[in-house]
Amino acid sequence: MLFSSITFLYLFLPLVLAVYLLAPRRAKNAVLLAASLLFYFWGEPKQLPLLVVSALAGWGFGFLLQKNKARWPKALSIAVCLAPLLIYKYADFLIASVNSLFGLSIPLTNLPLPVGISFYTFQILSYLIDISRDTAKLQKNPANFVTYIALFPQLIAGPIVRYETIQAELDDRRQTLSDVSSGITRFCVGLGKKVLLANQLAELQAKLAPASALACWTLAIAFTLQIYFDFSGYSDMAIGLGRMFGFHFPENFNYPFISQSVTEFWRRWHISLGSWLRDYVYIPLGGNRCSKGKWLRNIVVVWLVTGLWHGAAWTFAVWGLFFAALLLCEKLIWGTALQKAPRAVRIVYTMLLVIFSFVIFNADSLAAAWAQLGGMLGIGVGAASSADVYYALSFLPLIAICAVGATPLPKLFCARLKKSRAVLEPLLCAGLLLLVTAFLVEGSFNPFLYFRF
């Protein structure tokens, strides 16, 4: 079930909210658990047992790790809880790579990738590691732990919510009118970003082929903006939904397209993943408090994991290593010169590299990525066709709106309307909901890109 669907907006969410608000305090987690399992079952009925078993395994291993701080229980619990992700997501990638490398014909498993498995696996792992470090309190109630893992607002595409972030709210939380109001506003803004901007950018891409330099650039820019509004829109909706039910999820984006370096970009983009990898991979490997050789290794490992976390394909591995190379270059080669450059130059530099990176990210193969990157440089293609010019000009207003919308300007504008916000916010939410409903009824393109991760 999609957040941006008529069923969710007008049936599931209103009913769940009504039952939740009427339920006594001791029954609220039970309502959320039932709603979350139904939400997942709606789209992934065959994979629901895997979700529940994975969550219960993580809960059980928590008791073992609290009592025994030796390495083997920690390694065993991590291996068992990580196994489903490795099997479902990476088994066929490994088999196909071995077949290609050695000329073999080992049959693929063809296992369907469970929606959200990368997100909920990382949440289970963070809980286990925090228990072993004594930085999180053991959850003794299995139903509450499954509720944390399956919580529908952030179940299928994040943000990655660590147990320690919401452990107090999971056991006892206060739901205020202010939280519900701000949650509704945040949800509506995210819904608008997804349906009115990301979906329309996807339609532009469906009309173009990378057959000219203009088309290649248009496709690259449109996808970069689409994935931002798609994923940040989903994060806004998740944070807003969490707020409606009394949870305070972490922010996941902080205007990454105003970054003045690639290093800064990754402090602003997918913040929950970046902080997870920093705390549970980079720092345990030694971080930067080690020899230069090991530090370089740590950077490469973290960014290879970052790439492969997004998908089991060589394009994602190269995408991650591309950023590893850029970050190392900023730290070791041109970082000082970059800091001295004008602010506009630094932003353009960052955005060009980010746009190039998302060409690799979005490509079906490395060959397709190289072809589009070459096309952007005018290699092997013409400048533009009449159809490419037509579509580029037709969607130029949308791209301009998205470019402005990806900056803090709209937020700054709204901040100036403090005296009118009590009236304007409900009107804005109602208007966005009506407009989104019209688009959804019309049947516009409506998948979430991050569902595949």
Identify the three-state secondary structure at position 382: strand
Amino acid at 322: F
How far apart (Å, rounded) are the C-alpha atoms in residues 227 and 187? 18
CA distances from 44 to 2, 38, 51, 147, 200 (A): 12, 10, 10, 17, 27
The residue annotated as part of the active site, out of 189, 218, 310, 319, is 310
Q: 231, 230, 192: which is closest to 9 by C-alpha?
A: 192
For the chain, the C-alpha Rg in angstroms (whole number) is 23
Unique residue bearing structure tokens 């658990």: 33
The number of residues in the chain equals 453
How far apart (Å, rounded) are the C-alpha atoms in residues 250 and 275? 11
Catalytic residue status for 310? yes
Return the bridge partners of 164, or none.
none
How far apart (Å, rounded) are the C-alpha atoms in residues 250 and 273? 11
CA distances from 46 to 32, 53, 111, 114, 370 (A): 21, 13, 12, 9, 38
Number of H helices, E strands in the chain: 24, 0
- Indicate if the alpha-carbon torsion angle 53, 59, 65, 67 is positive or negative: negative
Give the count of beta carbons closer than 10 Å to the beta carbon of residue 16: 22
Interior CA angle at 447 toward 444 and 452, to 5°?
Answer: 165
Phi and psi at residue 412, in whole multiples of 5°?
A: -65, -40
How far apart (Å, rounded) are the C-alpha atoms in residues 107 and 299? 34
Identify the three-state secondary structure at position 212: strand
3-state secondary structure 250-284: CCCCCCHHHCCCHHHHHHHCCHHHHHHHHHHHHHH
In eight-state DSSP terms, residue 420 is G
- Residues known to be catalytic: 310
